[in-house]
């Protein structure tokens, strides 16, 4: 390009677009909520997906808890792996852009804790320590539900 003004204009526009994407990554699509939590604004399909993931977390927590009680390391590892980071592979990028950074950190942290439980079960960690790991994981669930809500989409 021989026109430096045009080049600088394009660079500026690209930087502004990048800044907007970075801002959206951190803030997500949120609004204040009357109960003091942050409302994460999603469409119906996105909300249903997130709620389904949360229900699956709860199913996995119960299955891991029962397997710890039974002393069944193979089931602990299998159930925890099912809810680990590999389950995040199908999450649409557009949905991740709408979720605020703090909620992403809690969600990814929870999946990471499931993977840690699976690895600890495979390595022979004792059941009391596995239970403590599960208790710590539940702290992520409580923190997320205390900080965020998913209101019904407006029609």
- Output the domain CATH number for residue 131: 1.20.120
Instruction: Say whether 124 sits in a helix, a strand or coil.
Output: coil
Confidence at residue 123, expressed as pLDDT on a 0 to 100 scale: 98
Residue 71 main-chain phi, psi, to 5 deg: 70, 30
Residue 154 lies in a domain: no
Residue 155 lies in a domain: no
Question: Which region among 90-94, 120-124, 137-141 has the lowest average model confidence (pLDDT)?
Answer: 90-94
Residue 68 lies in a domain: yes
Q: Which residues are bridge partners to 38 per DSSP?
A: 32, 148
Between CA 68 and CA 42 the distance in angstroms is 36
For the chain, the domain total comes to: 1
Closest CA relative to residue 91, chosen from 56, 49, 42: 49
| Predicted TM-score (pTM) of this structure | 0.82
Confidence at residue 17, expressed as pLDDT on a 0 to 100 scale: 67
- Average pLDDT in the chain: 90
Question: How sure is the predictor about 131, in pLDDT bands with cuts at 50, 70 and 90?
Answer: very high
Which letter does DSSP use for residue 35 in this model?
Answer: T
Between CA 54 and CA 65 the distance in angstroms is 16
Residue 22 lies in a domain: yes
Q: Which domain holds residue 121?
A: 4-149
Residue 54 lies in a domain: yes
């Amino acid at each position: 390009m021989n026109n430096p003004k045009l080049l600088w204009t394009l660079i500026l526009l690209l930087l502004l677009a990048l800044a907007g994407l970075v801002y959206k990554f951190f803030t997500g699509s949120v609004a204040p909520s009357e109960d003091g939590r942050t409302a994460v604004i999603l469409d119906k399909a996105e909300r249903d997906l997130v709620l389904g993931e949360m229900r699956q977390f709860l199913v996995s927590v119960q299955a891991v808890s029962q397997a710890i009680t039974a002393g069944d390391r193979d089931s602990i590892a299998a159930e925890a792996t099912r809810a680990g980071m590999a389950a995040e592979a199908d999450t649409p990028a557009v949905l991740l852009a709408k979720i605020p950074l703090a909620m992403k950190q809690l969600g990814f942290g929870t999946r990471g804790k499931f993977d840690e439980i699976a690895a600890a079960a495979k390595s022979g960690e004792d059941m009391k320590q596995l239970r403590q790991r599960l208790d710590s994981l539940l702290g992520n669930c409580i923190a997320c539900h205390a900080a965020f809500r998913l209101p019904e989409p407006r029609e």
